[in-house]
Structure 1
Amino acid sequence: MSLAFAFIRVHSRFPTWARSGISGIRLQRVMPAGILLIVALVAQACADEIGQDFRGSPYNPSLFRPTGPNASGSITSDSQGLRITLTEEHGMRPAVGLALRSGLKGDFEITMEFELLQVAEPVGGNGAGVSIYVTMVSYTKEAATIWRAVRKGGDQIFSSHRATTPDGGKRVHQGGQALKTQGTSGKLRLTRTGDMLSYRIAEGSSDAFQEIFETEIGFEDIDMVRFAADNGGSPTLVDVRIKEVKVVTEEAGAPERLPPRPSRWPLWAGLGVSLLAAGGGYWYWSRR
């Protein structure tokens, strides 16, 4: 994990009043630079790291599990990485890849290095390619995706997506403007700092990441991280290679489960009783 990321993690855990002071001259009053550096180094040392370079070795089953239909038949390993191939016969079935066996807590940075070997132009759907997908333990079913894809019409893009379901409402989808590209390799990254999620991409072998979208997503635990080949709901040939994944997080482990959402019927029942009581009182006094 970079020292800059460690600093961001420490900074995000300060209360709001402290964070506002860190941004300017008040930094010297809140925390001397030397102490801040020590705190950042401690945070860096305490972070959990998960990852694997797949070039020349199969995936580690203690860290990852296969996910998606016919995953065992679609995933192979070679000297260049983890290869995932979806044929047209895969149809409109879900994405295929690897999921972390661990959940993530607090701030995190998820990075995947990839290569597109062959992705045919899809006839529909959301775009075909390779992606990082995460879901959160939340009543609103938060989910986020960043992917390198080919979409209907042939556009080569980096794209971002976030989905949430408000209480009592329909699923809401949002994302940043797609970024066009011609490169067939690169890196995808999702970074949460505090309650903000940043979507970032890098072209080819570069480590110069560019943010393509940012959204407020909350502090809840991440219960799934998936690295996958995805045809976007179109019967399209997708042949990709995942070279390496790296995950840095405040804490890796089983995510906390939310208690069942409180039922609304006691509220409505109480309201009904109150209305009946009020109506009865009015009738009683009107008869006097």
Structure 2
Amino acid sequence: MTPHQATHCQEDTSAVRSRIAATIVSYLDGQQERDTTVSGLTLIQRTAPVPVTSFVYEPSLAMIMQGRKHIFLGQTTHSYDESLFFLTSVGLPTMTEVVEASEERPYVSVLLNLNMAMIRSVIAEIAIHDHYPQGGTAQAFGPADRRLFEVMERLINIAVAPSANVFLENLAKRELLYYLLTGPASQRVQQTALLGTQGNKASKAVEWLHRHYAAPLRIAELAELCSMAESSLHHRFRALTSMSPLQFQKNLRLHEARRLLLSQDIDTATAAYHVGYESVHQFNREYKRAFGAPPRADIQSVKRLGAS
């Protein structure tokens, strides 16, 4: 590709992103985010930077049309913008921070929850070697190029249409998956997708913790459930999620407690016991370490930000 062709391609990509951003902003009509008629597709905008916030990613694809954000996974901080997509094939408790957003140029993004059965179907149809890698992580960042944005634009246009069209929706989703699995980051995406399937032993531990985060965690029993040695479980779980099983459970508990405190009229002790803590003092200490303030002060701050 010549320098002129590369510049032309970049301009084309920028134009597609700008068109998608305008469509999303118009559709949201002042709302910060909104689910759509397309199953699993959420459109998002922010008109000011957003401080560090807890968020649990379901298996999903995230793309930014305008702006930039940070994702905190374990001890690692990832910064990404319009040039990258973010993909995860397991549910991940994270912290996120929108760092570039304004009234004039809002942060605009798309979040599409992934249907793992559809991914498996596409993998089978395009004859990707279906083995279950035991190393690597279940998250991938990859280049978001013009072709990927064009496919996403088609899906968004289906979403904002006056009536739903499930047939076209599924075609667009399968095309999106096909491109991710065969595009510039294909090897990384294939590995990430397969790591999130039932065939991967560590992913079974992730699923169990999502369902039973409030229960006591006994590593020996979890390893036996996944047919793994304890040392292998620790190693592969950390490789998959960037966290140990205990850290993962703690993050799930804290995220759920914060959600309860924000959405229900309950006190700190009730939230702590509900998510599995036996000591309110320990809960308060770990909550402050995770979110920067004790529960009551944090919830008041978040509600003030929401009101403003």
Higher helix share: 2
Range class of TM-score, shorter chain: under 0.3
| Normalised TM-score (structure 1) | 0.24
| Normalised TM-score (structure 2) | 0.23
Radius of gyration: which is bigger? 1
Higher strand share: 1
